[in-house]
Amino acid sequence: GRIIVTSSVTGPKVSMPGSGAYATSKAAVTGFIHTAAIELAADNITVNAIEPGYIDTPGLSGLKARFGAERISHFIPAKRLGRPEEIAGPMVFLASDESSYVTGETIVVDGGARLPESPLFAG
């Protein structure tokens, strides 16, 4: 069996002012994934997550309205927002037999947004 959770890079990997409750809840999801993976491994059930970054969905509309998509994209090494369908490939992998030995992990899908040490180096 497979359990695949959609989480976020915000909380487990990065944060920003005003995101305390959201970041805390997503960090807790990571703890759940680790614990569930340990508890369910003997039953041949894997537990993993996808951690999207800035994906162009309705959930990003407030941030886009406040800062603009171009300004957000400027700080992403890929220089664009992600598309929802770009989350599908990693999910299909985690649901497949090819990932049968992967458990307790997260796959970050963020166009490299969390990589720069400083936004000054993002371009």
**Active-site annotation holds for 101:** no
- Burial (CB < 10 A; 0-12, 13-18, 19+), residue 42, is exposed
SS3 120: helix
Annotated active-site residue in 22, 32, 75, 93: 22
Name the residues annotated as catalytic. Answer: 22
